[in-house]
Amino acid sequence: MHTLITFLGKGRDNAQTGYRSTRYRFDDGAESHSPFFGLSLAERLQPERLVILGTAGSMWGVLVEHLATEGDDEDRRLRLLDAEARQSVDSALLEEVAPMLARALGREVVPRLISYARDTSEQASVLQAIADAVSKDRISIDLTHGFRHLGMLGLLSAIMLERVGKHRIEGLWYGALEMTQGGVTPVLRLDGLLAIQRWIDALDRFDANGDYSVFAPLLEADGCAADKAHCLASAAFHESTLNLSDARTQLRTFLPALDAPLSGASGLFQDKLRKQLEWALAGELDAHQQKLALRALQRRDYLRAAVLGIEAMITRLCFTEGSDPLDYRARDAADKAFGAQLRDGEHTDWKRDAYWTLKNLRNAMAHGIPPNIRAHAQLLRNPERLHQRLNACLNQLNNT
C-alpha cells in the first residue's frame, strides 16, 4: 500500500480556499491547479491512503468546504468551521468528516490531529502520530504546508520510519510557492536530503561493524554498475571470514568505479569511501592485516583486533622466511618456530611479552574463558587498559 502524508496549516490568503491557489508544475511538465498541494500530489501519485496532519487550529473546515459537494452533511461542515475558528477541532469531529473526504478524493483519507510541536514532548508526539498513521509499505511525504518547523519534523519522521520502522520512503515533496513565476509554482523533490542521511547512516554502521555491503545499494541508486557495487558485498563477506586476500581482490575490482565523479549523494561521500578502502591498494598482506587490526581496535572489536594482529605477525614471518603466507602449514611452522625462539631468549623481553599477551588474549576471547595469566585476566576486566595494551602489542609486533 502506498500512503501519502501531507500537512495542513492555517493559511488565509483566500477566504474560500485558505491557501492561495496556484498552478503546480512537476519536473516532467505536468501541471495541477489547486490551493492545496497535498491534493495535487495525491492526484499525481494516486496513493491508496492519504494521511492529513493538522493542529486544532488548522483549516480543516476550509479543506472540507473545498471538497464538499451538494448533499454532504452541512451540520458537520458548519460545526467544523466553527471549531476551526475557535482553534478547537478535535479527533472525534475529524473522524466524522473522514468519509466525506474519502468520497471526494476517491481513496482512504485519515485526518489526524497533531500538537503544535512547541517543545520536545510535543515534537515527539508528532513523530509518534506519523508512525501510528502509516502502513508497512511505501510512503511519500509532502512537506509544503503547515508551520515551518513541521517540515523539519516531516523530514525527521522519514528518517525514523526508514531506520526504525523499516518503511520504504518513495519521495519527499515540496510545492515551492515562494518560487512562483508567471503563476506557475515549481514542485521540488527533496529526496536528496534523505539520500544524504542514508549515507550518513551507512557510514555509522560501517564504523560499527566494518561491513562494506552497506554502501552497495546507495551506490547503485546513484548509477554505479550493479556488478561493481556487488564487489563490496563480496569483500565484506571475505573480510568477515578473515580471507583478506580475496577481500582485497574484490575491493581492487571495485575501486576504479571511484575514479570518475559519482552522481547524487554518493558524490559527497566519494572521497570518504575511497579512504575506507585504500588499504587494498598498497602493501603486502601483513600490512593489510595490521591496518584492519587497528581499525577493529578503533571500533572496540577486541577479538578481531587480536586475531588480525597475530596473523599479521605470522604473515610477516612467512615473508621473511620466503614461505607462502597463504599456506596453512607454512604459517603454522613459522608461528611455532617464532614461539621456540622466544622461549630460547632470542628476542627482546618487550617483544616476547607483546607476543604472549596478544596470543593469550586472543585465545581467551575466542573461547570465552579467563586467561591463565593473572595480568592478562585483569586486562579483560578493564576496557580502557585492554584497549591500550592491545594497541601497544599490535604496534610492537608489527612495526619492527
- Total of domains in the chain: 3
Instruction: Show the domain range for 303.
Output: 285-398
Of 115-119, 170-174, 384-388, which has the strongest mean pLDDT?
384-388
Section 178-204 average pLDDT: 91
Section 159-174 average pLDDT: 82
Percent pLDDT > 70 in the chain is 96
Please tell me the predicted confidence (pLDDT) of residue 90. Answer: 92
DSSP state of 181: B
Please tell me the predicted confidence (pLDDT) of residue 200. Answer: 92
185 strand-pairing partners: 24
- Residue owning grid cell 623481553: 349
Q: Structure pTM?
A: 0.75
33 strand-pairing partners: 23
Residues 259 and 302 in one domain: no
Please tell me the predicted confidence (pLDDT) of residue 351. Answer: 87
Taking the alpha carbons at both ends of the chain, their separation in whole angstroms is 61
Residues 71 and 166 in one domain: yes
Please tell me the predicted confidence (pLDDT) of residue 399. Answer: 65
Section 1-10 average pLDDT: 90
Q: How sure is the predictor about 273, in pLDDT bands with cuts at 50, 70 and 90? A: very high
Q: Does 141 have pLDDT greater than 60?
A: yes
Q: Which helix (H) or strand (E) holds 245?
A: helix 244-254
Residues 47 and 145 in one domain: yes
Residue where a domain stops, chosen among 236, 262, 280? 280
Residue where a domain stops, chosen among 280, 298, 316? 280
Residues 29 and 161 in one domain: yes
Q: Across all residues in the chain, what is the average pLDDT?
A: 89
pLDDT one-digit tens code per residue, 320-368: 999 999 999 999 999 999 989 988 888 888 888 999 999 999 999 999 9
Residues 244 and 164 in one domain: no
312 in Cβ contact with 300 (< 8 Å): no
Residues 249 and 361 in one domain: no
| One-letter identity of residue 37 | F
Least Cα distance to 5 among 148, 103, 145 occurs for 145
Residues 12 and 160 in one domain: yes
Please tell me the predicted confidence (pLDDT) of residue 12. Answer: 55
Residues 337 and 203 in one domain: no
Section 27-37 average pLDDT: 90
- Residue owning grid cell 547524487: 264
183 in Cβ contact with 171 (< 8 Å): no
Residues 33 and 182 in one domain: yes
Whole-angstrom distance, CA of residue 100 vs CA of residue 367: 66
Q: Does 13 have pLDDT greater than 60?
A: no
224 in Cβ contact with 257 (< 8 Å): yes
Please tell me the predicted confidence (pLDDT) of residue 46. Answer: 95
Residues 8 and 136 in one domain: yes
pLDDT one-digit tens code per residue, 62-105: 888 888 876 667 788 888 888 888 989 999 999 999 999 999 99
23 strand-pairing partners: 33, 184
Q: Does 289 have pLDDT greater than 60?
A: yes
Q: Does 191 have pLDDT greater than 90?
A: no
- Which domain CATH number covers 344? 1.20.120
